[in-house]
Every structure is written in structure tokens, then in C-alpha cells.
Amino acid sequence: MTLFSKEIHFWSVGAVLVSALMLLLGGCTEVNDELGVGVIPPGQQFEMKFATLEEGIESYLTLSDSIATSSLDYAYFGKMTDPNYGARMKASALVQFEYSLRTDTVAHKDRASKVDSLALLLGMKTLGGDTLKEQSFDIYRLHKILKRDSTYYNGLDVSEFVDSRPMFSCTFSGKPRGANAFDTLSLKVVDAELAEKFMADLWNDTTLYAKDSLFIAQMGGLCITPSGTSPEDAAIYGLNLQWGTEEGPNSYLLAYGHEYPANDDPSLVEDEVMRAFAITNNRSYANTAAATALDYDYSATSWGGYINVDVQSDEELQNPVSEGFVQSMMGVTTTLELGEKFMADLRGLVPEGCDIFINKAELKLYLSDDDYTLFDSAPQRLGAYVDYPSLTSVADYNYYYEENYDMELVYDGYLNRTQACYTMNIAMHLQQLLMDTENTLSHRITLGMPAYEMISDAMVGLKMAGGTKPVKIDITYTVIGK
């Protein structure tokens, strides 16, 4: 521990009050020296000090598979590779749809319709990666229903929800035109039997349209996932699940067919028919559900073997590291463990017979590489959590109040590009640890993405213990004499 202090103010409160009154009453011939006696406890004193604590802070790489993805505004699909660190990621979108509109509402005598083709008309956005790489996607039918009142996580196993083979495939490359514009993915048949069954169910079960719960139970939904031939270093896209205020849903499954005479002569096509099915997760308008499944591959990195996967609070962390990482899309995080040495040094700041109040506790995290070209790919802010999967933050990072009451937190947490450093004020958290005499609070802090900005293509490396600029906490505190 590097520990130093400097006396800023040291005074008797009673003496200050008396001195001030003497100045105000300087023209008086008599002064009441007893004024204020009994109001301020005798000997009450304050002293402000500084300390830097850096010993006893262990760092670990952590990864959770229990972060909810079923409440997002987008469902993600695609593959991408981080260009700086080599971490690979695969996203699969699981969505449901319900009847929206149809063009064959008029009953025609002696005519019948047949479905010819399907397409996905999607409002999309680019999450990140190389959009010039053409990707191929497999489209599966969900045989296990997503339940609207259930929560699904990033570690969801897609194989539990889909058939053994895809029905369709499609390709896509380039940047979408925007979340409020549409891009069409034409579906090509992969498995004729599965595709024909799905298209027949979609086209003919018109009696289910009036009751969307029956329709969802019958149709299941779709899974859009990168195929095995899709390049690893491509891009991940977001499928818009929101409901526009004017135009309605932003994403659709479209079915196209034709009407024929009753004798079913294919040469006598009379009219084109289209039916649209809304893909949405908006609880105000639909009864559908959606989720994103994420797969991570860190085998191409030098640190992938050090990651602690889905560690519970009562489990011991393994493989301490001197370089930490924080990745968006619910990827790898860095967990700091404030060990016995750190806690002993923290408690050692309290003089015998006194209390302390922590005014500021700046957790300083320096980028592992201060190359300014990496600043744009790094998260512009970091969050600090006592439980990352549930996004339970340290007391200082009260993101809910910040988001809903337009508050600016003293917590900070933003990237200082001049110093190539993140600074987070965790004073309240350390004060809670000091007051935790029963040792019931966790001594772990997980550094991750900000609570409302978890989805991006950001990633950053951080210097930890043992480096030239190791993780440290600069503390400003006030000693309160009793």
C-alpha cells in the first residue's frame, strides 16, 4: 500500500465559532465566551487526508451466460471478429411473428391460392464488423415456443429450439439503409420437406389468424443464424423488433402466392397474393417474444484460457491476470477482487477512537495500450457492478436515476483520452465495505459496459496489477474525532 496524508484543516469547531463571533462583535466591550458551549461536543475535530491503495487488488477475466436478451429492442444475428484482440462472436436471432395483413381478403368463386415464395423484410442496423463480407444465414423453424412471460439469456442453446436442419437460407452484405428503412432477404429452400410444411401451415391455417396465441403455438417462430460457411470476420446486424409510431412494425415475414382457377391449371394464373406477418417484441402491440443467443470464441486470443465462465458469487475465481478486458455484446468482463490486504489497508485508514467519511475514491484503470487509434474502438464509459448478470451496480453507479431523472453522477466512469484512463468514483461503495462489520457484502467489482449501452462492437484492454500503471484507488477522506 502506498499511503500518505496531508493535513488540510484541523480545528476546534467551538474555537472557530467563538472567533467568528468576536470579529462580528469587535466593537463590544464584553464578549460572551460561553456562547456555543454545549452545542458542539468538546474536542470535536475534522481532518482531511489522502491515501492511495493498490495492494491486494486481484484481477480476473469473467464471462456470464446469464444476461437477459429477451427484452431488447433488437434481435441480433451474424458473425464478427474484433480486429484488435481477435475475439470472435456469433449471434443468432430467435423471433416470433403474427398476422398483420393480407391481400386476398375477397372470396372469389372457383378460385384457390398457393404460396410461391417467402422473404424477410427487415428493419436493420449494423452493430459492427466488416459489412463488405457477404454472409450466408440459415433459417430454422422454432419447434420449442418462446414464452412471453419467460426470460431468455445470452447463453441460450439454439439447438434446443430448432429442427435439426434449416428450412431456408439467404445471403446479405453491406450496410442496411437504416433501422426505419427495409432490407429484403429472399429465402431459398434448403430442406424441401420442412420448407413446404412451414409454407403450407403459414398459408392455409387462416382460422388461426383471429387468435394470435393459437397462431404462435402453431407456427413457432424463426431462428436466423449464420451458416457454417459464413466468414468469421464479417458483421453482426440488429433486426428491429420495435413498433413504429406511424408505420407499424419495422420487420416482417412476407409470403407471396398466386390465385388459380379451381381446376388448378398453373398456366391460368389470375392474381398475385401477398400476406404479411409482423415480427415484433413490442408488448404494447403484440403477444410475441424474441431473444438473442450469443456464442463467444476467444481461442485466437492470448488470454482466452484465463476466462472464468459463469462463476457464482460463492465460487473462487481462478487465473489472476495482469491485463483485463471489457467487451460489449455481453462478452468478457474484468472482475476486481478486493482481498484481505486491501481491506486491512482500508480499515487502517481509520485512527483508533475515530471515524472516517470517504469523500472520494477514484478507481483508476489505465488502457493496456495508450495508442490513440484504439480510443474509438474502446467503450467510452465503463460500468461497475457487484453482480453483472443482473446489472446490480455499485451504489455510486446508480444508472437508473441517471437515465430517468437526467442526473449527472459523481461516479464519472468515462474514458479520459488525455490520460488514457478510466476513472470511477466508488466512494459510497468503499464506505459500505467499511461499515460492513459482519462481512456480508461481496468484495468483488465487475467492470463492464454501461447498463444502457451494452450492445455495440466496443472492446478495450486494461492494465492491472503488476504493470507500469497498475489499477489503484485514490482516496480522499475526512477523519472525524470522537
Higher pLDDT, 390 or 6: 390
Q: Which three cell numbers stand for residue 42?
A: 468538546
| pLDDT beyond 60 at 37 | no
Q: Say whether pLDDT at 371 is over 50.
A: yes
pLDDT band at 36 (very low <50, low <70, confident <90, very high): very low
Q: Could you tell me what percent of the chain has a pLDDT over 70?
A: 85
Q: What is the pLDDT averaged over residues 395-405?
A: 94
Q: pLDDT value at position 275?
A: 87
Confidence (pLDDT) at 329: 95
The reported pLDDT for the residue numbered 482 is 65
pLDDT higher for 27 or 381? 381
Mean pLDDT, to the nearest integer, of 40-49?
Answer: 69
Does the pLDDT value for residue 137 go beyond 80? yes
Give the span between the Cα atoms of 327 and 305, in whole angstroms. 16
- Which three cell numbers mark 364? 483508476
Region 81-107 average pLDDT = 88
Going by pLDDT thresholds of 50, 70 and 90, the confidence category of residue 111 is low
Q: Which of 106-115, 200-209, 227-236, 412-421 has the lowest mean pLDDT?
A: 106-115
Instruction: Give the mean model confidence (pLDDT) for residues 448-456.
Output: 94
Mean pLDDT of 389-398: 96
- Asked whether 256 and 272 are in contact (CB, 8 A), the reply is yes
pLDDT bracket for residue 84 (50, 70, 90): very high
User: Mapped to the 3 state alphabet, what secondary structure does the chain carry?
Assistant: CECCCCCCCCCCHHHHHHHHHHHHCCCCCCCCCCCCECCECCCCCEEEEEEEECCCEEEEEEECCCCECCCCCEEEEEEEECCCCCCEEEEEEEECEEEEEECCCCCCCCEEEEEEEEEEEECEEEEEECCCCCEEEEEEEECCCCCCCCCCECCCCHHHCECCCCCEEEEECCCCCCCCCCEEEECEECCHHHHHHHHHHHHHCHHHCCCHHHHHHHHCCEEEEECCCCCCCCEEEEEECCEECCCEECCEEEEEEEEEECCCCCCCCCEEEEEEEEECCCCCCCCCCEEEEEEEECCCCCCHHHEEECCCCCCCCCCCCCEEEEECCCCCEEEEEECHHHHHHHHCCCCCCEEEEEEEEEEEEEECCCCHHHHHHCCCECEEEEECCCCEECCCCCHHHHHHCCCCCCCEEEEECCCCEEEEECHHHHHHHHHCCCCCCCCEEEEECCCCCCCCCCEEEEECCCCCCCCEEEEEEEEEEC
* pTM assigned to the model: 0.85
The pLDDT confidence band at residue 406, using thresholds 50, 70 and 90, is confident
Residue range 90-96: mean pLDDT, rounded: 97
Predicted pLDDT at 15: 38
Model pLDDT, residue 284: 75
Higher per-residue confidence, 244 vs 173: 173
pLDDT of residue 261: 76
Average pLDDT over the chain reads 86
The pLDDT of 20-38, averaged and rounded, is 43
Paired residues of 57 in beta bridges: 338
More confident residue, 22 or 342: 342
Hunting for cell 403455438 — which residue is that? Answer: 217
Instruction: Please name the residues in contact with 246: beta carbons below 8 A apart, sequence gap of 6 or more.
Output: none
Q: Averaged over 278-283, what is the pLDDT?
A: 86
Residue 263 CB burial class (10 angstroms; 0-12, 13-18, ≥19): exposed
Q: Between 13 and 234, whose confidence is greater?
A: 234
Residue 442 burial (CB count, 10 A): 15
Residues 333-357 have pLDDT tens digits of: 999 999 999 999 999 999 998 999 9
Which tens digit of pLDDT belongs to each residue from 218-231? 899 999 999 999 99
Rounded mean pLDDT of 311-327?
94
Query: pLDDT tens across 228-275, in order?
Result: 999 999 999 999 998 876 667 889 999 998 887 766 666 777 778 888
